[in-house]
Structure 1
Amino acid sequence: MKRLSILLITILTFASCGDEVEFNSPSIQGNKDYVLWRAEYFNASIDINGYLTITGGNNVETLELRIPSVAVGTYTLGDVDSMEARFTAGDGTVYSTNNRPDPSVTLYPEYGEINLDKIANRTFTGTFRFNAFDPTGLKVVNFGGVTNQNPDTPTDDPVNGGIFYRVPLTSGNIPSVVFTCIDAEEQTDLAQAAFNSTTASELMYINSTDYINACNILALALETQRSYCGDIDGALQSRIDALNGCVFPCEIAEDNRNTAEAEEENATIGNYILACINYQLYLQEQIDFCGDPDGSIQLELDELNCGDDDGDGVPNIFEDFNGDGVFDDDTDGDGIFNYLDEDDDGDGILTIDEAKDVDGNPLDTDGDMDVDYLDNDDDGDGILTQNEVGDTDGDGISNYLDNDDDGDGIFTLYETGFGDTDANGQDDYLDDDDDGDGLLTANENADPNMDGDPNDAVDTDMDGVPDYLDNI
């Protein structure tokens, strides 16, 4: 009702100017510099972006009113390029609400309005008012706008403006889905949430690609919101400016680098290569986004060794035992440096196949402080790994990792000294009936306290030969 009242007042104002005005037919009219201006022709067009332009003119002058959406509402002029009133004078001078006034003319923003009040049968009705300036900002065309905007010295000049009434659409079509300011605001909210997620506190690293992509989407959404909603207070432009062109922030790159450095320093054999490559990535990003004026970051990057030259699962850096940077260690003395030796301890088991935990870190099966890939007797049973083949007792543990190869309860370490007690061609440490009496060694009380050491073996006949070795 308020807009209709304003429309009627405006109509009456025009009617009082001395020219007959009939608003039962399409028309565009305005109070240009307080003199009635009337268009002799008029039309409306919608471009591929959905922008609506109302055009009217006579034989010497043209008025264009442009808004970014075919939706009823108020659009503020003099704020963003997408909402514009343009007047072309008879001498060819183009006056636009997007031209800023010279400070000598006014120090205050010149905001106008286009009010799209009604859309019916492919026609458009509404009102407008504005001050439009030439490119110099010194000359102005006024359609009912107040020329003195200083709030401290309010003017009594009337705000008459203009009207467009049932202007027909002659080019383009009304979109089936009309994009509005509300849609733009919702789009920005979604983009902001996506951007915020790239820097969530629970993330160990901030991914630069994700950050930049999400930032660009947010910047575009904010620009779109400015186009469809305006930005009189500059809040949207401030948010765009704060994105800094979506350049990845140096301080984030430094945080990533510090986190990666700590991971690399604390890495183990099983995860070092991945941690080292990760560190390389973030060192390079620190150079890319922060610069490297003294070359110190590049030097550190160059000195990193993330390789595993022999492909044995042990990174080169862990094959330099004394940490002197010279990879000349040769555990098995075969003349091949460990970092190039696929079998570092020469025990016949490739280093990559030696025992590891679930994280890929080497194990020390016999607990002698030498991990298996550097130990030529992995189970510490006194028999070199290269001489222990198969799985004699079928317990699923290969002999070279089994401290009781025949599963008779006596550790192999303690059976190697007895040779072949029953002379059946099978050494005791592989024979589960050492004395050949038909009774399994494990059933002859060979180790009552079950510690694998037969020192406490039972000697029933007290002849000095324990039962598991005595066949009589």
Structure 2
Amino acid sequence: MKKLILFSLILALFSCGDEVEFNTPAFQGDRENQLWRAKSFSASIAPNGFLTIKGTNNTEIVNLRVPSVIEATFIVGNNIDVIEAEYIDSFGTSFSTNNKPDESVSIYPELGEIVIEEIDYANETFTGTYRFLAFDASGLNSVGFTNGIFYKVPLVFGEFPTNPVTCEDAEMAAEAALLAYEATFSSDLDFVNNTAFEAACMAYREALNNQRAYCGDADGALQAIIDALGDCQISCTQAIANSNEAESQYVTATIGNFDEKCAQYQLYLQEQIAICGDPNGSIQAKLDSISCSDDDGDGVPNAFEDFNGDGDLTNDDIDGDGTPNYLDTDDDGDGILTADEAVDADGNPIDTDGDGDVDYLDNDDDGDGVFSIYETGDTDGNGVADYLDNDDDGDTVLTINENADPNGDGNPADAIDTDADGTPDYLQA
């Protein structure tokens, strides 16, 4: 009833001034305080559900575009591209509410509105009002319409959508996008991933713009949130937190995960420079000091081959062969390449005999008294190479207890052969 009374008053105002009665479909408005009346008019619904109501007067056209086929008020001139009021003059010049005014004319465009007051689904017509101020592409020239009315404009193209988007839909989508955005910088995360953050932020911004389109934003609260999102890049504070966490993980890295943690630290330092800047070059200096190299390709990064901790890789030579560890593919000189020494599932070196020296630094990996370099093959065929097997012949008597090296020099050349059959006891079951 309120709609009918309001619309009757509007019609009465027009009837008094211009002696027009809307007993039949109509489309008109005051263009620059002069009556502009369309000679033909129609409505169309695009496949995406957008509605356009069009009025034509010879070569002049007014287009009213809204993103949903619902009875609602849509605000134009607020940087919401999906809502538009457009006037095309007889010279083909387009004046649109989506064109920003030049700053010499106005800092902000004047807000207008397209009001869909009544949708007659049975007869497929649209009734409502409009007003707007539109600018040309230069932003220097404008055309204004007031007191605009369209009455029972018929749908000539498209179909009514089954579930047109509503303000409530837009609000729910924005809430979901907010949750996804907040999840990218949750306190539970070690790092704020810039790529994921940017994608979620942009999706949230789009959802907020849709909410403005479908719900309006009279107090500017939604626009304030959009503005606060900025360029959707992580902040300098977040970038610094990332590099600090990466440093913490880098300094506690193991051989097995060093490559990952080192590259990760370099990445976040580079990101910190890109986002925060590096006026005194201190971050770049830190970045330059980091080395993820493994010069001998033995699976042990250079950072783990400085055993005396003096920062000089050239004076660390565990096996004394004249080749520093970081260039030596067999660090302990046991005949087993460092890259082939035992490691656990995470890639970290194993200490098979539990003597405190990991295998790649231990010349007697299984602690049986015989140096690994003299233990080739798998004597007992149990699938464990002799240099890792403390019972080489599988007779349940440990190799170290079978006089494999009486003189204790690690060479089993003097091993006891009790039955003098040519096979020493530690290799004979």
Does residue 390 in structure 1 map to residue 390 in structure 2? Answer: no
TM norm structure 1? 0.73
Kindly provide the amino acid, as one letter, of the partner of residue 364 in structure 1: D
**Percent of matched pairs sharing the same residue:** 47
Query: How far does residue 363 in structure 1 lie from its aligned partner after superposition?
Result: 2.7
Does residue 250 in structure 1 map to residue 250 in structure 2? Answer: no
Q: Measure the CA separation in 2 of the matches of 1:288 and 1:134.
A: 39
Q: Measure the CA separation in 2 of the matches of 1:335 and 1:124.
A: 94
Contact in 2 for aligned 1:276/1:306 (Cα 8 Å): yes
Partner residue, 1:421 = 418
Q: Measure the CA separation in 1 of the matches of 2:20 and 2:140.
A: 34
Q: How does 1:23-62 map to 2 (within 5 A)?
A: 23=23, 25-29=24-28, 38-45=37-44, 50-56=49-55
Does residue 114 in structure 1 map to residue 115 in structure 2? Answer: yes
Q: Which has the larger radius of gyration?
A: 1
Q: Residues 231-271 of structure 1: CA distance to partner in whole angstroms, max 9, x if unpaired? A: 21112211211111112222222111111111110112222
Contact in 2 for aligned 1:39/1:57 (Cα 8 Å): yes
TM norm structure 2? 0.79
Q: Measure the CA separation in 1 of the matches of 2:92 and 2:359.
A: 91
Alpha carbons of 1:8 and 1:357: their partners in 2 closer, same or farther (altered >3 Å)?
same
Q: Give RMSD over aligned pairs.
A: 4.0
Contact in 1 for aligned 2:73/2:113 (Cα 8 Å): no
Which is worse superposed, 255-264 or 293-302?
293-302
Does residue 374 in structure 1 map to residue 361 in structure 2? Answer: yes
Alpha carbons of 1:387 and 1:180: their partners in 2 closer, same or farther (altered >3 Å)?
same
Unmatched 5+ residue regions in structure 1? Answer: 144-160, 433-472
Contact in 1 for aligned 2:64/2:114 (Cα 8 Å): no
May I ask how many residue pairs the two structures share in their alignment? 412
Q: Residues 247-303 of structure 1: CA distance to partner in whole angstroms, max 9, x if unpaired? A: 222222211111111111011222212211111111111122222222222222222
Which is worse superposed, 407-416 or 332-341?
407-416
Does residue 218 in structure 1 map to residue 217 in structure 2? Answer: no
Q: Measure the CA separation in 2 of the matches of 1:39 and 1:392.
A: 102
Q: Measure the CA separation in 2 of the matches of 1:365 and 1:232.
A: 73
Kindly provide the amino acid, as one letter, of the partner of residue 261 in structure 2: A
Contact in 2 for aligned 1:305/1:317 (Cα 8 Å): yes
Alpha carbons of 1:330 and 1:93: their partners in 2 closer, same or farther (altered >3 Å)?
closer
Q: Measure the CA separation in 1 of the matches of 2:85 and 2:39.
A: 18
Does residue 327 in structure 1 map to residue 327 in structure 2? Answer: no
Contact in 2 for aligned 1:77/1:114 (Cα 8 Å): no
Partner residue, 1:10 = 10
Q: Which of 400, 420, 428 is 1:412 aligned to?
A: 400
Partner residue, 2:250 = 264
Partner residue, 1:187 = 173
Query: How far does residue 35 in structure 1 lie from its aligned partner after superposition?
Result: 8.9
Alpha carbons of 1:162 and 1:310: their partners in 2 closer, same or farther (altered >3 Å)?
closer
Q: Residues 412-446 of structure 1: CA distance to partner in whole angstroms, max 9, x if unpaired? A: 256233722332323233344xxxxxxxxxxxxxx
Contact in 2 for aligned 1:62/1:89 (Cα 8 Å): yes
Contact in 2 for aligned 1:116/1:124 (Cα 8 Å): no
Contact in 1 for aligned 2:38/2:55 (Cα 8 Å): yes
Partner residue, 2:346 = 359
